[in-house]
Amino acid sequence: MNLNVLFFAAARDVVGTDTVTVDVPDGSTVGELQQLMIQRTPQLERWSVALLWAVNNRYAGCDQVLHASDVIACFPPVSGG
- Give me the residues that bind another protein (CB under 8 A), please: 6, 8-10, 13-14, 16, 43, 46-47, 50, 52, 54, 57-58, 71, 73, 75-81
Going by C-alpha positions, the residue among 33, 38, 35, 31 that lies closest to residue 63 is 31
